[in-house]
Amino acid sequence: MRAVSLFLVVLGLSSCVSSKVHKDLLSRYSALEAESDSLRNAEFNCRQLVETLNSDLEKCRTDVAGLKADTAESGKELRRMNRNYADLSRSYDFLLENNNALLTNSARENKKMLERLQELDMRLQDEHDSLVEERANLSELTARLAQREARVKELESVISKQDSVVRYIQNMVSDALSSYTGKGLTVENRGGKVYVSLDNRLLFESAKWTLNVGAKEALGRLAEVLAANPELSITVEGHTDSDAFSGRNGVRDNWDLSVMRATAVVKELTAKEGVDPSSIVASGRGEFAPIAENDTDENKAKNRRTEVIITPDLSALSELMDSSAWSVPEENGASE
């Protein structure tokens, strides 16, 4: 504004000033006008700068408010952390104190544990030594058992052969005496022996011990089987019922009667050529080995009998049973 006023003054005076002065004023006017433009630009820039600064100031105020709020929150957090630190510090002191006590106790416990481990180690070594010894014993026992198993198989083979012999003898006797089956004669396999049971009515008259004709025929057929198998052992047993026997001619009771009848059968069997008398035994059982109660006539008739007991040669079986191979050591080296 000052430049314009000055310009007007100059213009008013231009009519009355010299040309030199006039040029000089124009020159100054141009300079002033340039300065005015520069000042206007500077003013504009200053206004923009002020606006920018005001915006920055507002932002700074906002940031300051946020920082104040953060500072307050941080203060709270700091105080909380200080409290936590104080609590942790007290806990640390407590744990440190307890840890010292625990270390002392732990040392004692470790010593006890070490002693216990040493004891267990010694026991383990003893058990190991015992196990080694037991394994050696087991090896020996296994060998003995294998030997015994072989003997068992051998025994089973002998028994099987023995059973076959018994069945063979039973079949031969049954075939030889088949015509007497159901007529007071039975043939059975009992305990590995052949029992030929003859009802006394088939052999003897009542209260007598002399064989009748039919009995001699049956015993003759049986003797043929015995002669064909000289390795057999024979026992002839006489049996009576419980009725008292009124003795005569030296035969006084059922004992005597049973022996006399068994002897009569033995004599008849050994009369056959090939039957060795040394392989036959005559025995009397009297009334003391009944097969039925002596309460009826029918049962008493069953008890009045003579039994020819045929035993196959058991020497092979006896040798096996007497063999030392059947002795197996027990645990800890003891033997049976």
**Residue 14: pLDDT band with limits 50, 70, 90:** low
4: closest CA among 36, 47, 52? 36
Three-state SS string across 74-98, please? HHHHHHHHHHHHHHHHHHHHHHHHH
Q: In this predicted structure, what is the pLDDT of residue 105? A: 81
Does residue 192 or residue 14 have the better pLDDT?
Answer: 192
Are the beta carbons of 308 and 265 closer than 8 angstroms?
yes
pTM above 0.85, yes or no: no
- Residue boundaries of the structural domains of the chain: 20-62, 166-322
Of all residues in the chain, what percent carry a pLDDT higher than 90? 37
pLDDT, tens digit, 9 for 90 and up, residues 172-195 = 999 999 998 888 899 999 988 999
Residue 267: pLDDT over 50? yes
Q: In this predicted structure, what is the pLDDT of residue 218? A: 92
pLDDT, tens digit, 9 for 90 and up, residues 220-266 = 999 999 999 999 999 999 999 999 987 767 788 999 999 999 999 99
Q: In this predicted structure, what is the pLDDT of residue 330? A: 52
Mean pLDDT score, 55-73: 87
Mean pLDDT score, 125-140: 86
Q: In this predicted structure, what is the pLDDT of residue 277? A: 95
Q: In this predicted structure, what is the pLDDT of residue 333? A: 45
Q: What tokens does 322 get?
A: 């007497």
Angle at 212 between CA 205 and CA 239, to 5 degrees: 55
In this structure, of 18-32, 97-111, 184-198, the range with the lowest mean pLDDT score is 97-111
Tell me the average pLDDT of the chain.
Answer: 84
Q: In this predicted structure, what is the pLDDT of residue 108? A: 84
Q: In this predicted structure, what is the pLDDT of residue 336? A: 43
Cα–Cα distance for residue pair 280/270, rounded to 1 Å: 8
- Specify whether domain 166-322 bears CATH 3.30.1330.60: yes
